[in-house]
Amino acid sequence: MKASPSPPKAAEHPPRAAAPSGPPDQPPPADKTPPAFVVSLQAAVPGIGVSYWVGDWTIIVPAPRILDVARHLRDAPEASFDMCSDVTATDWPPRAERFDLIYCLYSTRHRHRIRVKAKVGETEPVSSVTGIWLSANWLEREVYDMFGVNFVGHPDRRRILMPEDWQGFPERKDYPLEGPGELLMENPLDWLKLTQARDEADIE
């Protein structure tokens, strides 16, 4: 009697790649001289980092020094960054400081730009820059709404895109694609019906 053939071996899967922890901050090339506003900032606020990539300068700052850096960049004559054009973030969950919080600044006097970046923990308090640039008000609200960055000292910190009772922060990489937080259900319509029923009860 012939021996039965052995079952085929299961295909071996390659090990899963580790989740990315964010891109490295590229140092300036040896032949690239930092502009005067970067040099003066380094002298005024020790401990900051400097990166240069694709024609743009980026200042890397510890989160507790954000206000010191912001005031200098606004007030120093060689900087004069009088406009905060954007505030955004990226999420890198493997890191303890999971967020890269990024401010995009512009000087209407000198017509130059700079980015300010801080690595921020999930619940770490971050001082609002609305007292320095009023335009940051809604921008910080959006970052709070989408990522849950813990801005403190903001005059009106509340959601701006999602409903006030929305659960979770949709731009976080660990946010479930099927729906929000604790009310995650097989059918997204079930969550909508439950929310509508609660609103109707409040009206009655």
21 band by pLDDT with thresholds 50, 70 and 90: confident
Query: Structure pTM?
Result: 0.81
Residue 175 has pLDDT above 80, yes or no: yes
Q: Which stretches within the chain are classed as H helix?
A: 36-44, 66-75, 136-147, 188-203
CA 103/CA 118 separation, integer angstroms: 9
Domain ranges of the chain: 36-170, 174-204
Could you tell me which residues are beta bridge partners of residue 51?
Answer: 58
What's domain 36-170's superfamily in CATH? NADH:ubiquinone oxidoreductase Nqo5 subunit (3.30.460.80)
pLDDT for the residue 113? 97
Is pLDDT larger for residue 200 or for residue 154? 154
Q: What are the CA-CA distances from residue 68 to residues 12, 150, 160, 195 (Å)?
A: 53, 18, 27, 43
